[in-house]
Amino acid sequence: MKSTGYVKQLDNIGRIELPRTLMHELSIDYRTALEIFNDSDSIVLMEHKDHCSICNKEDNLKSFKGKYICEDCIDGVISLQSFKIGS
């Protein structure tokens, strides 16, 4: 991970403003959803991408009760159900 060279102060309710030039470089705008990650000594913002709630894959997603599940995991759950019915 490299430094962008920008240093921003949080405002009184914890917000930061991303520099417009950085947003342009990253091809993001005010509508972009960012996901916040952290570990013991860092905070990382990454563009949010919908992903499977079970395996984290981002392809072939279906929405169910506000969660995304990929077709592979749906097939896996269906096969478990078939196993249960067949036993």
The residues binding Zn ion (CB under 5 A) are 52, 54-55, 57, 70, 73
Q: In whole angstroms, what separates CA 7 from the centre of its chain? A: 24
Q: Please count the CA atoms within 13 angstroms of the CA of 55 that sit on its side-chain side.
A: 14
Closest CA to 57 of 36, 81, 73, 41: 73
- CB of residue 79 vs Zn ion: minimum separation in angstroms? 13
Q: How far is the CB of 57 from Zn ion (least distance, A)?
A: 5
Nearer to Zn ion, 24 or 62 (CB): 62
CB of 77 to Zn ion, least distance (A): 10
